[in-house]
Amino acid sequence: QKEVEQNSGPLSVPEGAIASLNCTYSDRVSQSFFWYRQYSGKSPELIMSIYSNGDKEDGRFTAQLNKASQYVSLLIRDSQPSDSATYLCASKDSSYKLIFGSGTRLLVRP
């Protein structure tokens, strides 16, 4: 199993819907998790971080961490076409190196 795994997608949702992006992780990474958004041809930008079990909300974004099931998710409420991008899940391994998943492509249909 890879340290951080994501479904490559694409995940297609209509404008205004909730987009749910998921990430599973192995025992080889830490309990700190990060969600990066990457537009096509651009570099990643941090949108959310979470390191405690439960939910963390920031505007339209909610990150959820479930340590017992080893998954972390990102919910985007009221999805907009401008949210169409690849979302990268990341965590740190035992040497504190930031490990990225392969990303999930999100398409928000107008």
Partner 1 sequence: EAEVAQSPRYKITEKSQAVAFWCDPISGHATLYWYRQILGQGPELLVQFQDESVVDDSQLPKDRFSAERLKGVDSTLKIQPAELGDSAMYLCASSPGLSFWTGDFSGANVLTFGAGSRLTVL
Cβ-based nearer residue to partner 1, 13 or 48: 48
Structure tokens belonging to residue 36: 């990066």
Cβ-based nearer residue to partner 1, 26 or 49: 49
Is residue 22 a contact residue for partner 1 (CB under 8 A)? no
CA–CA distance, 26 with 18 (Å, rounded to integer): 27
Is residue 42 a contact residue for partner 1 (CB under 8 A)? yes
Contact set for partner 1, span 65-84 (CB under 8 A): none
**Which residue's structure tokens are 């079990």?**
53
Residue in 10, 46, 67, 109 binding partner 1, rule: CB under 8 A: 46
Is residue 45 a contact residue for partner 1 (CB under 8 A)? yes
Cβ-based nearer residue to partner 1, 27 or 96: 96
CB of 39 to partner 1, least distance (A): 11
Beginning with the edge strand found earlier in the chain, give each strand of the sheet holding 71-76 in spatial order: 4-6, 19-25, 71-76, 61-66, 54-58
Q: Can you spell out the DSSP letters for 7-54?
A: ----EEEETTSPEEEEEEE-TTEEEEEEEEEE-TTS--EEEEEE-SSE
Cβ-based nearer residue to partner 1, 76 or 87: 87
